[in-house]
Structure 1
């Protein structure tokens, strides 16, 4: 079952027609351009989406391949795959659990929708599209009968306080609102909760290579 939601986003006081839908092969060039805009140099270009990865997203789990259009222009994307998640064995890297973005390990019998990537073009970030796309993926979790949505969030503010705080202390401070983090705070506003901190989740100096698993539980399970 394909996903399509039409609504108006707000650019200050102006309404802008917006659509969230599944992306297709016709969108690949635009999706790669969005990656370039979201992750400019010195981010390594080999880590941008390529057409083989995007083809797998569409062919293996199109329900988890969402994009957002603003007034007819592609503005962002959100991609997921299904995995069988067990909190008692929660440690993993991004590369391991997403097959380095190729999702060939997508498990049709999995219990969890795992977020691979979210990207919004810089010029559209003030419209709140990331949060609306995340909420749309919650709809997918419910429609697919999964237990949860899960993903590893970067914690890019952590390097500033790493000498004074453990990763757990930092995440707790952000969760309580006494500190802010660009990624964790965004995910909290989307309704997700931190459940586990993973060491060496990504090669990410700002996060000191940590990631925090953040969960949204299906309220009907």
Structure 2
């Protein structure tokens, strides 16, 4: 055997000898010498470690798990989301233009009592479209601020009715003018016809909600 063949034989036998501790080497690398083969395995191992530590962009959940719940494509045009955003914008305008002390529910109560004084708390809640717990909290705060007071019903001494104080009337007057300004700002992107149409559509939706809720029942998630 020639010297070249003797030197090549161990290399050839090393390549042919299986090594269970090493991953399979691609066929196009069968010509690697043992040192090159070892280097290839080392590089491949390190590459796997890097890929595990710094994975690439994640595939969308629906591609990896078709049965997984998917997010709604775009909530920005959903009526419920738009209503919530409108409420946020209205509150921001209220605190910036109207008042940081008198809240919208408090103003509604003041306005209701100015229009219809000497009514009880339950009736006030109905007129102001406030639930029992909310109207109780609002009344307590306004009484504490000295804007309304409880008096005995002159027609029925067994119950109390609510009435604005002079300070309450003055506060209502100040806030009311600012509310008009806020409404003008809120509806400024719309012309006169669009404003009327918006009010009409919102009123129709609000008035239809009780019937819809009764028909659908209470949903639990």
- TM-score, with length taken from structure 2: 0.22
Structure with the larger strand share = 1
| Greater Rg over alpha carbons, structure | 2
Q: Which has the higher contact order (CA 8 A, sep 6+)?
A: 1
- TM-score, with length taken from structure 1: 0.22
Structure with the larger helix share = 2
